[in-house]
């Protein structure tokens, strides 16, 4: 089984939640990109939806495929958001932001009536933290913020986190997000309490947003070689 096949199966299963007349949030990342492809096919067959992308990359993909898009400033309600995740624990707590779009992804997810997370089954973990936790920070004073982020993670129970500024593809300058911020990648190995870490990070001046998505995903779809498993959660 290829990982792409599993991602495709998860993305295809998410179409079951889409109905004509909806305003959709379109996530970012490789699995979300498959969903955007499949959605474009449904639209060409007559599905009537409007969409809000969570990143410049998703905007460009959706626009190229002819998907009707709305500026976020014109959105009154988002019925459904479909997005990927870097890690998913048994309580549907997520780590997101590997693609550096976590701020916009969280704004859209939080504004949605229903968030569906799609991923291949390798993203399901018992405890979050093996994937580096992204934290979006203001460029101003980011070195000070990085030290405070380290302290916050330690206080929340993470043993010896490593906090590193994410660099651009060339490796000579910091990566800049769509929102004009920097990303700190925090290698935690294990996050004992996602809730405690989220709270500790949220009060650090300079932290714009963190990649812990808690109590947002009502549906998780995990793709595998057979198809997809759909898990539902209540908060």
CA angle centred on 92, ends 104 and 228, rounded to 5°: 95
Q: Report the alpha-carbon distance of residue 24 to residue 182 in Å, rounded.
A: 27
Look up 105 and say whether it is catalytic. yes
Burial 12-25 (b: 16+ CB within 10 A, else e): bbbeebbeeebbbb
CA angle centred on 212, ends 207 and 213, rounded to 5°: 120
Environment class of residue 172 by beta-carbon count within 10 Å: exposed (0-12), middle (13-18) or buried (19+)? exposed
Other residues' Cβ atoms within 10 Å of the Cβ of residue 111 = 15
Going by the DSSP 8-state scheme, the letter that residue 219 receives in this structure is E
Which of these is catalytic: 87, 105, 136, 209?
105
Which residues are catalytic, by number?
Answer: 105
């Amino acid at each position: 089984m290829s990982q792409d096949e599993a991602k495709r199966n998860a993305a295809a299963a998410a179409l079951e939640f889409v109905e004509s007349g909806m305003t959709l949030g379109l996530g970012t990342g490789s699995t979300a990109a498959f969903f955007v492809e499949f959605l474009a096919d449904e639209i060409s067959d007559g599905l009537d939806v409007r969409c809000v992308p969570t990143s410049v990359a998703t905007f460009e993909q959706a626009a190229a495929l002819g998907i009707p898009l709305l500026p976020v400033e014109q959105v009154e309600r988002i019925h459904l958001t479909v997005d990927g995740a870097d890690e998913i624990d048994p309580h549907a707590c997520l780590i997101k932001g590997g693609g550096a779009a976590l701020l916009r992804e969280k704004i859209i997810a939080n504004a949605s009536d229903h968030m569906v997370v799609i991923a291949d089954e390798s993203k399901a973990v018992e405890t979050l933290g093996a994937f580096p936790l992204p934290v979006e920070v203001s460029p101003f004073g980011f070195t000070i913020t990085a030290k405070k982020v380290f302290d916050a993670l330690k206080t929340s129970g993470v043993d010896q986190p490593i906090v590193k500024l994410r660099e651009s593809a060339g490796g000579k300058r910091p990566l800049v997000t769509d929102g004009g911020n920097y990303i700190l990648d925090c290698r935690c190995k294990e996050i004992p309490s996602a809730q405690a870490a989220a709270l500790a990070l949220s009060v650090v001046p300079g932290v714009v947003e963190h990649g812990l998505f808690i109590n947002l995903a009502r549906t998780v779809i995990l793709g595998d070689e057979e198809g997809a498993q759909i898990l539902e959660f209540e908060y």
